[in-house]
Chain A
Amino acid sequence: MRSFVSKDDIRSWGGILQGQHFVSRPNWRDQLPRSIAEARDADHSLLAIGLGRSYGDSGLNPGGALVDMTALGRIISFDPATGLLRAEAGISFADILDLFVRRGFFLPVTPGTRFVTLGGAIANDVHGKNHHLAGTIGRWVRRIGLLRSDGTEIELRDDDQTGLFAATIGGLGLTGLITWAEIELMRIPSALMDVETLPFANVDEFFAVAAESEGSADYTVAWVDCLAKGNALGRGLFTRARHAPRGTKLARVEKPKLTVPFSMPSFVLNNLSIGLFNSLYFYKGRRAAGKATTPYLPYFYPLDSIGHWNRIYGRRGMYQYQSVVPPVTARDATTEMLKAISKAGEGSFLAVLKTFGEKVSPGLLSFPQAGTTLALDFPNRGQLTLDLLSRLDDIVREAGGRLYPAKDGRISAAMFRAGYPAWETFAQHVDPAFSSAFWRRISE
């Protein structure tokens, strides 16, 4: 294990899980086979790690080896005529945006942080606010270089018939190392966004605005005040946006101005402060509702301006919880979940509600499917929080929904298997030398 170093400080983004890992950070793709061989010789299972923005245990492999891909950020080629970008898997979305927005190109799909790697985004088949139009990132992946633990590097294409491409998209890093990938960038007219904010008073109003907006807006998402009760249950702010047709292509790239230097004491975040925040946010948003044109960075990545914002949740960390429920049960299940949260009084700062469109996700384990997705984060208060989450699990499961592995560190194997019936087919493509805490939890 010459190129690996033992580290005990690798934490998931949620901060709840931590473990000892042997970490290697190769600078060149041709060193990857050696890292794999070293780990295998030492009988350690392997997993790739990107920028570590996954909240739960799918990105961790405690006691095993992690190959840190972030030094592999080279661009291999770019064709401005087609927008096809081929790059090493460790390149970050932040780097891609810095380079290509000024040339009139944008990521076809982006999550709510730009500090993710291309490989990590593919391995979770990430979605964004334009899901109803673009589907997941996997739909924009044309080719993948996949290094298996037997040392062979396979070029997978989007018309692959073996199933390995479909297993690798959203494959949670379990099919091998993605060494490079080719994605299709999208053309944009400017670096600005036309954004419209509309307050809604309850869950029914949310569904009405969402249905009306999907035809016209490229990006839609809503924030919900999940501590509101009674008639106000499910009140929130709906934003719909598009790339502004005119304006500058140059966006000032700001470095995080603020950073949370250490984990905050847990009293900072309590029900009172979360409740206050939610109410203030709602009223402030309602007053400011209307149309505005803003640079793309604060629109897509509001949290990226605060370095290590996850530390406000203190040393005990937080749970993220993201579910999707199908259209037929969406309204009832969403209402029930919001009721359960508000009843438990376990507030969430960043409750996000969005409808997913009909675009089929290409991965066997891709999370997005048609329906409504609700993303929540809860400060870890031990059993109290876990009880609420298992209550939510029941609602999601009954509604025929499922949870997002990138944000999970706790669901049962049964719940996962119920939500992802293709998991057995997927398991046949898993590289025998690769594993993760998540995979051991749900497959064994």
Chain B
Amino acid sequence: MRVIILGATSAIAEATARLYASEGADLLLVGRQQAKLDAIAADLKVRGAVRAETAVYDLAAPENVRSALAQFCATLGGVDHVLIAYGVLGEQDEAEQLTDVAEEILQVNFNSVAAWCLAVADVFEGQARGSLVVLGSVAGDRGRRANYVYGAAKAGLATLVEGISHRFASNGPRAAIVKPGPTITPMTEGMNRKGALWATPEQIARVARRAADRTGPVFYAPGRWRLIMLIIRNLPTVIFNRMSI
């Protein structure tokens, strides 16, 4: 199995890559820092990856997505799964005041990811198989004060991936959006990560790995978030507006 991971230095991506490694996959790790990619690649090889290649690429400001993707595929001699994991929470307060901060959040989390997704969709359609797994967020399910610019990007992503999944429906390929709840990774460093709602990257990784093999297209991670978000989405506005969540 040949797997390309965009944003391979994310804690969730690394945990997912370990699952792939244990299956003896060939991996291409794409990120922006060579030293981090090397450390992960060395680890994955001992954990069973047949290959763990690395590529440094400016994922959030891609020059030519299609040719870059073709290059990645060529490195592995083809592709079976693509995981897109990079993302940034951003500073909501700043985003409300400074347009470029908001644009940056949208660029990293939505525009650039959308470009990769569309390019991957074409490759998968061409070969009539393949699984695309994209990390969204429960934050995309209902906008809230604390992070709605980020949430909007993740909401857009969910719709885009759903659309790709629909486009694939009668063919071989799959597309899935994984929506993690709060997870203990560098992204949430500095928050008070206490309590039962916080997940580990390993928990999210298991869902992301499974998502590649199942018909989704929406996977909450851990699964209990499906119910929680169902409730939150359906809360009457008067109540929701009074909550500080």
Do A78 and B190 touch (CB < 8 A)? no
Partner of B46, one of A25, A27, A99: A99
Across the interface, do A75 and B185 meet the contact criterion of CB distance under 8 Å?
no
Provide the residues of chain B in CB contact with A99, threshold 8 Å: 46-48
Chain A residues, Cβ within 8 Å of B42: 74-77
**With A74-B39, A75-B47 given, is the CB distance from A9 to B194 under 8 Å?**
yes
Q: Across the interface, which residues of A come within 8 angstroms of B48, CB to CB?
A: 99
B118 at the interface (CB under 8 A from A): no
Q: Is the CB of A27 within 8 A of B186?
A: yes
List, in ascending order, chain B residues with CB within 8 A of A6's CB. Answer: 192
- Assembled-state Cα–Cα distance A27/B48 (Å): 22
Interface residues on B, range: 10 to 19
Contact flags B182-210 to A (C-beta < 8 A → 1, else 0)? 00111001111110000000000000000
- Chain B residues 1-22 with CB under 8 Å of chain A are 11
The CA of A76 and the CA of B46, in the complex, are separated in Å by: 8
Which residues of B190-241 are within 8 A (CB) of A? 190-194
CA distance A9 to B47 in the complex (A): 34
CB-based contact A74/B40 at 8 Å: yes
B43 interface contact, C-beta 8 A: yes
Question: Whole-angstrom distance between the alpha carbons of A5 and B35 in the complex?
Answer: 27
Highest count of chain B CB atoms <10 Å: which of A9, A25, A74, A77: A74
B11 and A3 contacting across the interface, CB-CB below 8 Å: no
- With A2-B190, A3-B190 already in contact, the answer to whether A78 and B46 are too (CB < 8 A) is yes
* Nearest B residue to A31, CB-CB: B186
Closest beta carbon of chain A to B207's beta carbon, Å:
16
A441 on the interface (CB 8 Å rule)?
Answer: no
> Are A77 and B46 CB-contacts (below 8 A) given A25-B184, A27-B185?
yes
Q: Hey, which chain B residues are within 8 Å of A78, CB to CB?
A: 46
CB-CB contacts below 8 Å: B41-63 with A: 42-43, 46-48
Instruction: Give the CA-CA distance A323 to B128 in the complex, in Å.
Output: 66
Cβ contact within 8 Å between A5 and B192: yes
| Distance A110 CA – B3 CA, assembled complex (angstroms) | 35
Say if the beta carbon of A440 comes within 8 Å of chain B: no
Interface string of A1-36 (1 = CB under 8 A from B): 011011101000000000000000101101000000
Chain A residues with Cβ below 8 Å from B191 are 5
Q: B11 touches which one: A5, A7, A27, A76 (CB < 8 A)?
A: A27
Q: How far is the CB of B91 from chain A (nearest CB, A)?
A: 14
In this complex, the interface size class of chain A, counting residues with CB under 8 Å from chain B, is 10 to 19
Minimum CB–CB distance from A115 to chain B (whole Å) comes to: 14
Task: Give complex CA distance A155, B197 in Å.
Answer: 40
> Does A71 sit at the interface, judged by CB under 8 A?
yes
| Option from B11, B39, B43 in Cβ contact (under 8 Å) with A71 | B11
CA distance in complex: A9, B191 (Å): 15
The chain A residue sitting closest to B194, CB to CB, is A9
B residues near A76, Cβ cutoff 8 Å: 39, 42-43
Known: A9-B194, A27-B11, A28-B36. A3 touches B43 (CB 8 A): no
CA distance A3 to B191 in the complex (A): 10
**Chain B residue contacts of A2, Cβ below 8 A:** 190
B223 to chain A, nearest CB (A): 16
Task: Chain A residues near B185: list those with CB within 8 A.
Answer: 27
Complex Cα distance, B105 from A306, in Å, reads 43
Q: Which of A5, A30, A75 is in CB contact (< 8 Å) with B193?
A: A5
CA distance A7 to B186 in the complex (A): 17
Complex CA–CA separation, A380 to B186 (angstroms): 38
Q: Which residues of A contact B194 (CB under 8 A)?
A: 7, 9
Contact with B along A62-88 (1 / 0, CB 8 A): 000000000100111110000000000
- Inter-chain contact A75/B43, CB cutoff 8 Å: yes
In the bound complex, what is the Cα–Cα distance between A78 and B47 (angstroms)? Answer: 10
Q: Given the complex, which residues of B lie within 8 Å of A7, measured CB to CB?
A: 192, 194
* Nearest CB of A to B60, in Å: 19
Bound-state Cα–Cα, A385 to B39, Å: 49
Q: Chain A 419-438 against B: per-residue CB contact (8 Å), 1 yes, 0 no?
A: 00000000000000000000
A74–B43 touching, CB < 8 Å: yes
Q: Which residue of chain B is the closest to A91 with respect to CB atoms?
A: B43
Q: How far is the CA of A75 from the CA of B38 in the complex (A)?
A: 11
**Docked complex Cα distance between A27 and B201 (Å):** 12
Bound together, the chains give a CA A359 to CA B194 distance in angstroms of 43
The distance in angstroms between the C-alpha atoms of A25 and B40, with both chains bound, is 18
Q: Nearest Cβ distance between residue A35 and chain B, in whole angstroms? A: 11
Given contacts A7-B194, A71-B11, contact A25 B189 (CB under 8 A): yes
- Residues on A with beta carbons closer than 8 Å to the beta carbon of B35: 30
A259 CA / B8 CA spacing, docked (Å):
33
The residue that A3 contacts in the complex, of B36, B184, B189, B193, with Cβ under 8 A, is B189
User: Shortest CB–CB separation between residue A253 and chain B, in angstroms?
Assistant: 11
0 or 1 for each of B167-190: is its CB under 8 Å from A? (1 = yes):
000000000000000001110011
| Complex contact B46–A75 (CB within 8 A) | yes
Q: Which residue of B lies closest to A23 (CB)?
A: B193
Instruction: Report the minimum CB–CB distance from A55 to chain B (whole Å).
Output: 22
Interface residues of A in 199-238 (CB under 8 A from B): none
What are the residues of chain B within 8 A of A75 when measuring CB–CB? 42-43, 46-47
| 8 closest cross-chain pairs (CB), A and B | A74-B43, A75-B46, A78-B46, A75-B43, A27-B186, A74-B39, A5-B192, A27-B11
A residues touching B (Cβ–Cβ < 8 Å)? 2-3, 5-7, 9, 25, 27-28, 30, 71, 74-78, 99
12 pairs, A vs B, C-beta closer than 8 Å: A5-B190, A5-B191, A5-B192, A5-B193, A6-B192, A25-B184, A27-B11, A27-B185, A28-B39, A74-B40, A74-B42, A77-B42
Q: Add 10 more A-B contacts to A25-B184, A76-B42 (CB < 8 A).
A: A5-B191, A5-B192, A5-B193, A7-B192, A9-B194, A71-B11, A74-B40, A74-B43, A75-B42, A76-B43
